Chain A
Amino acid sequence: MSPNRTVIPFGPQHPVLPEPVHLDLVMEDERVVEAIPSVGFVHRGLERLVEKKDFNEMVFVAERICGICSFIHAAAYCTAVEALMGIEVPERAQYLRVFWSELSRVHSHLLWLGLLADSFGFESLFMHSWRLREKVLDIAERTTGGRVIFGASKVGGIRRDVTLGAIREARRYVAGIEAESGRITDVFRQDASVKRRLVGVGVLSREDAYSLGAVGPTLRASGVDWDSRKLGYGAYGRLDWRTVVETGGDCYARCMVRVRELEESYRIIKQVMEGLPSGAVEAKVAGNPKGEAFVRFEQPRGEVVHYVRGNGTKNLQRLRVRTPTFANIPALVKMIQGCELAAVPVIVLSIDPCISCTER
């Protein structure tokens, strides 16, 4: 090491981090030359629980891999097991899964906007974003019973139906949330102090984003047009929505991708509520899973992959989850090189790190 370099540890305890990740920052004066990540602080060994819980009970474990992306983990796991067992999920259940997935996405992006504002010291904007997030959690609680962990998915469909009254109320709530969200995101889009902290910070070029395997908004902010919802799983193939792409590749572009995705999500939620088909909400599940299945879903942070393997008993043989933050960490390491120390929290937060997903 040359005499000017020092190593500063970032995390696992840090005020901006929602979950613990450790980075060793090799610094030359005020510039970061290299960042060496360590993960493993919240490893709970959840994949091993397939040996103890049968494939129906495993939904509860899959839901609790992460608090923010909880519903989509459960939906992806259920879809993987349904693909394995050849179960056809009824339409109403698929639409309601999309409804709750998009609600999760809105909740996650509002939470992230708040944390981003907090990371550069804009606490009042952080509080306003989280105040709005409470209304989203109210919709979730009214329709599923839980604010963060919905408990709504099961293999074969969903566990409880949503009444017409609840849909009407949700529609009113969403209209109010959309208006308020416009006022809050206007500050992110236009405020000069926000822009000074975000524009030009942590640039990731298009080639780097693609070759390092970045996913989600991190990828889309660098100009690559890929969203896993384009695969058309669930009801996404039947709804009218667009992917959101920006070309800046800096933190501001990643912020704009998430702000515009919020607006897209409101459109999708309104379409689902208007066009909700009637019918059953669950399909019969008989027998045990046997074989292999592989599904890719779009979480708020990017593409998540669930792989299941069954051997004919009621316990699955293997569950493997590849989460989006794990795929974004190499991109993060590349982005941090060359930035100032004060920009490190902003860049780490701009990939939306969900370390409890990463480590399960």
Chain B
Amino acid sequence: MSEMRMTGLIVRSMLSKPATRLYPFAKREPFPATRGRVVPYLQWCNSCTLCQMRCPTGAIKVNREEKTWRIDRFRCILCGACVSSCMKRCLAMDGAYAAPEPKKGVEVFSRPAEMEPWVKELVDRVRKAVAAQVAGGSG
């Protein structure tokens, strides 16, 4: 009858589990592609400021003398322009949305003074392998 077309929907929704989750006990898992936050890994950064130039809102500020990389999380619109512009692949996006904060501030990251030990070892191994290949190939 045309007065009770919702009955099917109502019965299904009573018999199935709720569509909402018990936040904050159950949190939503982001998808792999979710753009939640820009994450810098400044091991290879050379302060070229390309990310600062490409950022449409001016959220990123790079200081060459101090070797720092600042981001204003409240200005960032999560567009990913900085990630695609970095020539050294220092920036990435992960899915963790920023939590609400009581006041606005800028996050500061510094370029490390020297390479981390695992990076140093990796670079050494690659150099040795390349040298061996060159020596083996030409010899």
Residues of A within 8 A of B (CB): 53, 57, 60-61, 64, 124-125, 128, 131, 134, 138, 141-146, 149, 151, 159-160, 183-184, 186-187, 190-193, 195
- Cβ < 8 Å to A, chain B residues 35-85: 35, 54, 56, 77-81, 84
Residues of B within 8 A of A134 (CB): 19
Nearest chain B CB to A271 CB, angstrom units:
24
Q: Quick one: which of A141, A145, A184 contacts B9, CB cutoff 8 A?
A: A184
Q: Give chain A residues whose Cβ lies under 8 Å from the Cβ of B13.
A: 128
The answer to whether residues A60 and B9 also contact, given A53-B56, A131-B19, A192-B3 and a CB cut-off of 8 A, is no
Say whether A183 contacts B8, CB under 8 Å.
Answer: yes
| 22 A–B contacts from the bound complex (CB under 8 Å) | A53-B56, A60-B81, A124-B10, A128-B9, A134-B19, A138-B31, A141-B30, A141-B31, A141-B34, A142-B31, A143-B33, A145-B80, A145-B93, A146-B34, A149-B77, A151-B78, A159-B84, A183-B9, A184-B9, A187-B5, A187-B9, A192-B3
When distances are taken between beta carbons in the complex, the residues of chain B under 8 Å from A124 are 6, 10
Bound-complex Cα distance A266 to B30 (A): 25
Question: Which residue from chain B places its CB closest to the CB of A186 in the assembled complex?
Answer: B5
On whether the beta carbons of A125 and B33 are closer than 8 Å, the reply is no
Closest-by-CB residue of A relative to B55 is A57
Q: Which residues does chain B contribute within 8 Å of A146, judged by CB atoms?
A: 34-35, 78
Which 3 A-B residue pairs are closest in the complex by CB-CB distance? A145-B35, A191-B5, A192-B2
**Which residue on A lies nearest to B36, using beta carbons?**
A145
Q: Is there an interface contact between B6 and A144, defined as CB atoms closer than 8 Å?
A: no
Distance (whole angstroms) from the CB of B66 to the closest CB of chain A:
27
Nearest CB in chain A: distance from B91 CB, A: 14
Chain B residue with Cβ nearest A191: B5
Q: How far is the CA of A192 from the CA of B5 in the complex (A)?
A: 8
- Min CB distance, A292 to chain B, in Å? 25
> What is the minimal beta-carbon distance from A39 to any residue of chain B, in angstroms?
26
Let me know if B9 and A144 touch, CB within 8 A: no
B interface residues with partner A (beta carbon < 8 Å): 2-3, 5-6, 8-10, 12-13, 19, 30-31, 33-35, 54, 56, 77-81, 84, 93
Which residues on the B side are within 8 Å of A60 (C-beta)?
56, 77, 79, 81
Chain A residues lying within 8 Å of B33, measured Cβ to Cβ, are 141-145, 160
A57 partner, pick from B3, B8, B35, B56, beta carbons under 8 A: B56
B59 to chain A: closest CB distance in Å? Answer: 12
Chain A residues in 8 Å Cβ range of B34: 141, 145-146
Which chain B positions have C-beta within 8 A of A138?
Answer: 31
**B10 — which chain A residues lie within 8 A by C-beta?**
124
CB-CB under 8 A from B19, the residues of chain A are 131, 134
For A134, the closest partner residue in chain B by CB is B19
Known contacts A131-B19, A184-B9, A187-B5, then 12 further A-B pairs from the complex at CB < 8 Å, ordered by chain A residue = A53-B56, A128-B13, A141-B30, A141-B33, A141-B34, A145-B33, A146-B34, A146-B35, A183-B12, A186-B5, A187-B6, A187-B9
| CB of A345, distance to nearest CB on chain B (Å) | 21
Interfacial chain A residues near B84, Cβ < 8 Å: 159
